[in-house]
Amino acid sequence: MPHDPGPSLFQSVSADYVHYPKRARRVAPAVADAVYLKWYSLAVPERAHTDAEIAAAQAFLLGEIAAGTLALAHEVGFVVQHRIATMDVFYVCSWNGNNELWETHYFHPLDSGRFEVGRHGTKFPTFCVWVLAIVHHETAAWSRYLTSARDSAARAAYCDDQLDAMVG
């Protein structure tokens, strides 16, 4: 029989919180000489990213890679451009060490033109439930690649394997 640990452990959920879905939309990847990043736009439908916002974000991150500020080389992975209340949060994720997902955060306040790299503290939020749906899909896609022949067809299949759905 399942054990209920009691309501005191669930106080992080406000009594008035109402959960809602968001759209995880696949968009064109960000591609550099030695980097391939699948790209996701994640937002409530009425606040979806424009093509110009996605292009600006991709240009910024590709510039960070070219400058060596974002240390990605000979890597594949994915980016989630997540629109929250006052900013976009970027989860830049790449596969390393065969089966490890590495992550860098960037923030882009919607009232400014700047992008900022995230800083980790002793306790830092990682993924919300909406981003986790994308991470779950990408984990399965990477596992399919790892168990494949890892040939040209498998690489193309991995790059084409993206979630495009309402999540959360």
Residue bearing tokens 């008035």? 16
> Each residue of 120-146: pLDDT tens digit?
655 677 899 999 999 999 999 999 999
Which range among 8-12, 80-84, 109-113 has the greatest average pLDDT? 80-84
Distance between CA 84 and CA 107 in Å, rounded? 10
- By three-state DSSP, how is residue 142 classified? helix
Residue bearing tokens 């002793």? 122
How many residues in total does the chain contain? 168
Contact 19, 168 (CB under 8 A): yes
Residue 81 has pLDDT above 90, yes or no: yes
Instruction: Take residue 56 and report the two structure tokens written for it.
Output: 């600006």
Distance between CA 73 and CA 69 in Å, rounded? 11
